Structure 1
Amino acid sequence: MTAFILVPGMFTDTHVWRETAERLTAEGDEVHAVALSGTGGPRSAAADTVDLETHIADVLAVIDSVGATPGREIVLVGHDYGIHPVLGAADRRAERVGRIVYLDSGLPQDGVPALAAVPDPALREELAERAGTDGAHGVLPAPARDAWQRWGSTEGVPEAALDRLTASATPQPLRTLLQPLRLTGAAASLPLTGVLCSAGGSSIEMAQRGVDFGEPTLQVFTGPQVTFFELPTGHWPMLSLPAELAEVLRRAAAGEGHHLVAPGGAQRPAHLRPFLLDVPDIPRERTGHTDLYLTAEEGPRPAVVFVHGGPVSAEARPTPRDWPALTGYARLAAGQGVVGVTLDHRLHDVAGYPLAAEDIAATLELVRADPRVDGQRIALWFLSGGGLLMADWLRQPPSWLRCVAASYPVLAPLPVLGPVDPRFRPADVVAKAGALPLVITRVGRERPEIAATVEEFLTASRDCGAAVEVIDVPNAHHGFETIDLTQESRDAVHRGMRAVLAHLEV
């Protein structure tokens, strides 16, 4: 027999687990849905004192109430915010816990508050500001019926269930979001299962790609004790697919599920597959951390500098400037009469953004000083997580910078990766870009948390009248140049290159 301890997310209480719990108990399993303190009604004086430690204590109380029967394994399930008290409790009762299930949740880190996982960037800032002025007293009101999408996809949730969710929703004590999670590492070796909800943008494929790219927070999930499942629904599978969720939880308890492949496996990672276009076989000229792909055209030529994303582990091989997408773009540019430039920069973790910015500045100095380059006609093209590095060039664009482009960019810090220097927020400085042309390639199958950063940036751009051209690729994924080998994707690469070259007057 398995004892499932189910911990709800923000604004929800034990009621959300009702149908899933019924299906688990019908199969003979023991189920305990945890009622978290301070979430059972309108604001009260008690809500001002409830914090993350209070909720960890709530989960510990349930763990301690489950008898230590031989053969009975405790499985802790944390949905959404609920993973924070789950991890805190598992850290203190590691010997009692058989498995932890991350149910469409973030990946909390030691020392990081749950506020970092709030999906709406504007709301995160608003709550942080409130905390700074009133000491985090009070509660965050529960969403209205039409506002649940702000907290996660409601796809698949029946109308009646959405009505019940709204009617029974409870406010969230602010202190639970603002108190940092503290972990000693005692539970680090426990078996884990991630249940991803694909309608919200999460998928096993995307998790694997994150591992392939060397995302530090995902490497721990490649161990043999870690499994994954995927459900074709939104953020509340206990309401949209309760029977399917119950089955997945039983299979997770049995150790079943998909295993992510650690870097170096037999399968070629997506980012190391061939570029989607046939490009000229132009050799590179390497100087330090910078590669130049020179055009056959005579005279000083404009240059396009391609900036990879990240964070990318310092041990990743090949390094980003040798990835097919980067070399493909650089060779494509050189074949069309400009100098293509790639570089390796030091974005190995989120603290590396200032170092990466230094590396880009050094490359630009090197490139502009080369007699084969027209130093007055330069474009910067950022990819993925490199998008945050745009901010430095929007804040005070030099006259020689003729265009800034970005493909499937991350344009605001992603909470799951941890805090980023506030200097790197493109939306905050786009108003200072003046008439600098911007070209944004946006993919339709983007991860929701990344798509939200692009929309935030585009909204800020519209508000200040920035010169932005958006190239939409509706059926493409993040990093589409090596995985979506379609005519739509090929056309998008050509359109992006034509737009950038036009601003270089090529």
Structure 2
Amino acid sequence: MSTFILVSGMFTGPHVWEETAARLTATGAAVHAVALTGLGGARPPAGTDVDLETHIADVLAVIDSVGRAEGEGRAEGEGRAEGEGRAGSEGRTEGEGRAGSEEIVLVGHDYGIHPAVGAADRRSDSIARIVCLDSGLPQNGVPALAAVADQGLREAAVDAAQGAGASLPPPPRDGWRHWGSTVGVPDAALDRLTALASPQPLGTLTQPLRLTGAAATVPMTGVLCTGGGASIAMVQARADLGEPVLRALADARVAFLELPTGHWPMLSAPTELAVTLLRAAAGEGRRLTPVDAARQPAHLRPFLLEVPEVPRERAGHVDLYVPPSAEGPLPAVVFVHGGPVPAEARPTPRDWPLLTGYARLAAGRGAVGVTLDHSLHSVDDYARAAGDLAAAVEQVRADPRVDADRIALWFFSGSGPLTADWLGKPPSWLRCLAANYPIMAALPAWGRIGSRFSPAEAVAQAGFLPLVLVRAGLEAAEIAATVAEFLAAADACGADIEVVDVPDGHHTFEAVDPTDASRDAVHRAMRSVLRHLRA
């Protein structure tokens, strides 16, 4: 039997779960939506400090009430999950699971995962599964505020955190998108979400979560809402890159499911969410593949072309691949890796076969190939990464073997927003700007990254700067939308842009789709960039 305990996110209360709860109840499951203090639950007296511990206590009270109800028999009118299989309890030895017939599935959405995991840590023997619904996994000693992607929103919360009873006002109707993708939410539902929103007590965001480790023994399912730009493939990629928290999730007890909707699936896709929660309760989902010698992560796979063995010259965070026996100052192509890339990633991006392959390919055709490491470790780091790139470019231009007046910049994936600086004020020595499968605007799950990093706005100032954009035909829809917006802006201002399409290519097609079409696209893009350098 499955009993779902649903914990809502910031500014919201039990009302957001109504449609999903009805669909779960119709299957025979029992459902309890937690009324967190001040967020649909009792409003505390003015000046009372509501913190994360307050909300953990709210969740514990519901867990304990379910346990009492089980001992006393189900109350009249509550649904029973006839025929439902047990939620998975992998990793627990026989006798450690919860006694009785009820399987409590604890679901935390957005901020709600913090009190949910805090409560599960204290009642681990009572919980069959934790479901992280479009949320990160809380860590011991880390406040919920750290999980808010938008740096501006975090700073506003810190500024407001003064005195007992302080709270963060809910967003206006058009402000919800800054807290997560509103894709699929009907207008009426968005109106109701705004009308019923409550101020978020700041203590719930700033008080660190304290965990003993018991919650880590409970099976878990992460439900990723792809409308915000998240996907299982992205989680796997970041785990492969060495992000410690995600690597720890490559465990048989942890599964992942996807929902093709935005950050509020209970409003945009309540039926689909109910089905997904039932699948989660049954232990379904994809597991992450651990990093080991038997599996080569995509970013470490060989380059798809045979390239000359040009030696690397390392200076600080910059590597140069200089054509042997070349005479005179040469043009240079600076290859800018994507991201965010965890700071723990080893090898670092400038040593990835994809980047070194491009650099050696350029060197084999008579240009200096350049790779570098920059500081794009999180979505807050674009300004730092932009500074790193600018410094690296000046370092390259100062090299006597490089023609300082003939430089091309070639961006990849998440470095796309960094193109805005160069599009908005292209220096005379920048002869070409290229981008492979770029993310050309902040994805909804990132929050805002600052108006400075908006290529679609900056391209109107690009003038005669030649642009080469390599587009993956099988790109994720959320990334493809940012490219479409940029191309529309480029077309509107008459920018000099060439699009190289790889119709059957995925993001990082050079690593995952080493086909003749992919090889042809690499050759074509390289020819175009070098032609502009030599014009």
TM > 0.5 between the two?
yes
3-state SS of paired residue (2:248): helix
Select 1:224's aligned residue among 252, 255, 262.
Answer: 252
Structure 1 equivalent of residue 192 of structure 2: 167
Q: Hey, what's the Cα distance between the residues in 2 that align with 1:426 and 1:292? A: 29
How far residue 4 of structure 1 moved from its aligned partner, in angstroms, is: 1.8
Q: CA offsets, 1:378-418, max 9 Å, x none?
A: 23333234457668878998765555544445678889899
Question: Is the 1:117–1:416 Cα contact (8 Å) retained in structure 2?
Answer: no
How far residue 77 of structure 1 moved from its aligned partner, in angstroms, is: 0.5
Q: Hey, what's the Cα distance between the residues in 1 that align with 2:201 and 2:464? A: 42
Q: CA offsets, 1:58-102, max 9 Å, x none?
A: 323322323266234432111233223323433454454332211
Q: CA offsets, 1:416-437, max 9 Å, x none?
A: 89999x9x96459969x98794
Identify if the C-alpha distance between structure 1 residues 482 and 29 changes in structure 2 by more than 3 Å, giving closer, same or farther.
same
Q: Hey, what's the Cα distance between the residues in 2 that align with 1:498 and 1:357? A: 27
Q: How does 1:92-103 map to 2 (within 5 A)?
A: 92-94=122-124, 96-103=126-133
Identify if the C-alpha distance between structure 1 residues 364 and 152 changes in structure 2 by more than 3 Å, giving closer, same or farther.
closer
Indicate yes or no: 2:334 matched with 1:305: yes
Select 2:407's aligned residue among 378, 383, 392.
Answer: 378
Indicate yes or no: 2:511 matched with 1:482: yes
Structure 1 equivalent of residue 210 of structure 2: 184
Question: Is the 2:405–2:428 Cα contact (8 Å) retained in structure 1?
Answer: yes
Larger displacement relative to structure 2 (281-290 or 440-449): 440-449
Q: How does 1:461-480 map to 2 (within 5 A)?
A: 469=497, 471=499, 477-480=506-509
Q: CA offsets, 1:176-234, max 9 Å, x none?
A: 59823522342344322111234544332232222223344422321222111223444
3-state SS of paired residue (2:105): strand
Amino acid at match of 1:173: P
Select 2:106's aligned residue among 68, 73, 76.
Answer: 76
Structure 1 equivalent of residue 235 of structure 2: 207
Q: How does 1:412-427 map to 2 (within 5 A)?
A: 426-427=453-454
Q: Hey, what's the Cα distance between the residues in 2 that align with 1:138 and 1:346? A: 31
How far residue 14 of structure 1 moved from its aligned partner, in angstroms, is: 2.6
Structure 1 equivalent of residue 58 of structure 2: 58
Larger displacement relative to structure 2 (264-273 or 361-370): 361-370
Q: Hey, what's the Cα distance between the residues in 2 that align with 1:194 and 1:440? A: 37
Larger displacement relative to structure 2 (346-355 or 331-340): 346-355
Amino acid at match of 2:247: Q
Q: Hey, what's the Cα distance between the residues in 1 that align with 2:466 and 2:44? A: 49
Question: Is the 1:48–1:173 Cα contact (8 Å) retained in structure 2?
Answer: no
Question: Is the 2:178–2:447 Cα contact (8 Å) retained in structure 1?
Answer: no
Q: CA offsets, 1:289-316, max 9 Å, x none?
A: 6240527865321011213234545765
Question: Is the 2:502–2:518 Cα contact (8 Å) retained in structure 1?
Answer: no
Q: Hey, what's the Cα distance between the residues in 1 that align with 2:334 and 2:57? A: 52
Q: How many residues align?
A: 491
3-state SS of paired residue (2:210): coil
Q: Hey, what's the Cα distance between the residues in 2 that align with 1:115 and 1:459? A: 35
CA-based RMSD: 5.1
Select 1:330's aligned residue among 352, 355, 359.
Answer: 359
Q: Hey, what's the Cα distance between the residues in 2 that align with 1:468 and 1:117? A: 38
Indicate yes or no: 2:307 matched with 1:281: yes
3-state SS of paired residue (2:67): coil
Identify if the C-alpha distance between structure 1 residues 217 and 447 changes in structure 2 by more than 3 Å, giving closer, same or farther.
farther
Q: Hey, what's the Cα distance between the residues in 1 that align with 2:500 and 2:147? A: 29
Q: Hey, what's the Cα distance between the residues in 2 that align with 1:83 and 1:470? A: 45
Q: Hey, what's the Cα distance between the residues in 1 that align with 2:135 and 2:440? A: 22
Select 1:292's aligned residue among 321, 330, 343.
Answer: 321
Q: Hey, what's the Cα distance between the residues in 2 that align with 1:455 and 1:312? A: 24
Larger displacement relative to structure 2 (163-172 or 485-494): 485-494
Q: CA offsets, 1:307-350, max 9 Å, x none?
A: 32345457655553343421332244234432222245676678
Amino acid at match of 1:263: V
3-state SS of paired residue (2:410): strand
Q: How does 1:119-158 map to 2 (within 5 A)?
A: 125=152, 128-129=155-156, 132=159, 137=167, 139-141=169-171, 143=173, 151-155=180-184
How far residue 259 of structure 1 moved from its aligned partner, in angstroms, is: 0.8
Question: Is the 1:108–1:114 Cα contact (8 Å) retained in structure 2?
Answer: no
Structure 2 equivalent of residue 85 of structure 1: 115
Question: Is the 2:180–2:262 Cα contact (8 Å) retained in structure 1?
Answer: no
Q: Hey, what's the Cα distance between the residues in 1 that align with 2:115 and 2:377? A: 29
Q: Hey, what's the Cα distance between the residues in 1 that align with 2:398 and 2:171? A: 57
Identify if the C-alpha distance between structure 1 residues 33 and 410 changes in structure 2 by more than 3 Å, giving closer, same or farther.
same
Q: Hey, what's the Cα distance between the residues in 2 that align with 1:181 and 1:466? A: 51
Identify if the C-alpha distance between structure 1 residues 130 and 357 changes in structure 2 by more than 3 Å, giving closer, same or farther.
closer
Question: Is the 1:430–1:461 Cα contact (8 Å) retained in structure 2?
Answer: no
Q: Percent identity?
A: 54
Structure 2 equivalent of residue 117 of structure 1: 148
How far residue 125 of structure 1 moved from its aligned partner, in angstroms, is: 2.8
Amino acid at match of 1:179: L
Larger radius of gyration: 2
Q: Hey, what's the Cα distance between the residues in 2 that align with 1:460 and 1:126? A: 28
Q: Hey, what's the Cα distance between the residues in 2 that align with 1:48 and 1:471? A: 58
Identify if the C-alpha distance between structure 1 residues 505 and 320 changes in structure 2 by more than 3 Å, giving closer, same or farther.
same
Q: Hey, what's the Cα distance between the residues in 2 that align with 1:80 and 1:447? A: 23
Identify if the C-alpha distance between structure 1 residues 173 and 308 changes in structure 2 by more than 3 Å, giving closer, same or farther.
same
Q: Hey, what's the Cα distance between the residues in 1 that align with 2:254 and 2:502? A: 33
Structure 2 equivalent of residue 37 of structure 1: 37
How far residue 285 of structure 1 moved from its aligned partner, in angstroms, is: 1.1
Question: Is the 2:220–2:255 Cα contact (8 Å) retained in structure 1?
Answer: yes
Question: Is the 2:242–2:346 Cα contact (8 Å) retained in structure 1?
Answer: no
Structure 2: state its 5+ residue gaps.
72-98
Amino acid at match of 2:192: A
Amino acid at match of 1:98: A
How far residue 249 of structure 1 moved from its aligned partner, in angstroms, is: 2.7
Structure 1 equivalent of residue 78 of structure 2: none
Structure 1 equivalent of residue 534 of structure 2: 505
The two structures have a TM-score, normalised by structure 1, of 0.73
Question: Is the 1:199–1:232 Cα contact (8 Å) retained in structure 2?
Answer: yes
Q: CA offsets, 1:99-140, max 9 Å, x none?
A: 22111234455535448536xx5xx63684486379665622
